[in-house]
Structure 1
Amino acid sequence: MSIIVAIAENFAIGKNNDLLFHLPNDLKRFKEITSGHTIIMGRNTLLSLPKWPLPNRRHIVITDKPDDVFPGCETVFSIDEAIEKVKDEKEAFIIGGGMIYKQFFPVAGKLYLTLVHQPFEADTFFPEVNYAEWNEVKREDLYDEKNDFNYSYLDLKRN
Structure 2
Amino acid sequence: MLAFLWAEDQRHLIGNQGHLPWHLPNDLHYFKSVTWQQTIVMGHRTFTSLPHGALPQRQNIVLSHDHNLHLPHVQMIYSKAELLQLAATSKKIFVIGGSNVFAQLRAEVDYLYVTKIAHQFVGDVYMPPLDYQDFQLISRRQGEVNSQNPWPHEFLVYQRYK
SS at match of 2:96: strand
Q: CA deviation at 1:144?
A: 4.7
Match of 2:26 in 1: 25
Structure 2 residue corresponding to 1:158, chosen from 154, 157, 160: 160
Q: Which runs of 4+ in 1 moved over 6 A?
A: none
Counterpart of 1:156, as a letter, is Y
Distance 2:87 2:129 in 1: 26
Match of 1:118 in 2: 119
| Identity in percent | 29
Distance 2:134 2:15 in 1: 25
Q: 1:32 and 1:146, CA in 2 relative to 1: closer, same or farther beyond 3 A?
A: closer
Preserved contact between residue 144 and residue 150 of structure 1 (Cα < 8 Å): no
How many residue pairs were aligned? 159
For residues 3-36 of structure 1, give each alpha carbon's deviation from its aligned partner in whole angstroms, at most 9, with x where no partner exists. Answer: 0000111111001111111111211111111112
Q: CA deviation at 1:74?
A: 1.0
Q: CA deviation at 1:64?
A: 2.5
For residues 95-150 of structure 1, give each alpha carbon's deviation from its aligned partner in whole angstroms, at most 9, with x where no partner exists. Answer: 00010011111111101100011232321111224433321111112325345321
TM-score (norm 1): 0.92
Distance 1:56 1:148 in 2: 29
SS at match of 1:19: coil
Preserved contact between residue 116 and residue 154 of structure 2 (Cα < 8 Å): yes
**Comparing both structures, which one devotes a greater share of its residues to strand?**
1
Counterpart of 2:117, as a letter, is V
Distance 2:146 2:84 in 1: 36
SS at match of 1:99: helix
SS at match of 1:113: strand
Q: CA deviation at 1:52?
A: 2.5
Distance 1:21 1:134 in 2: 27
Alignment pair present for 1:62 and 2:63: yes
SS at match of 1:72: coil
SS at match of 1:56: coil
Counterpart of 2:35, as a letter, is T
Distance 1:144 1:10 in 2: 23
Preserved contact between residue 22 and residue 121 of structure 2 (Cα < 8 Å): no
Distance 1:144 1:124 in 2: 27
- Structure 1 gap segments, 5+ residues each: none
SS at match of 1:86: helix
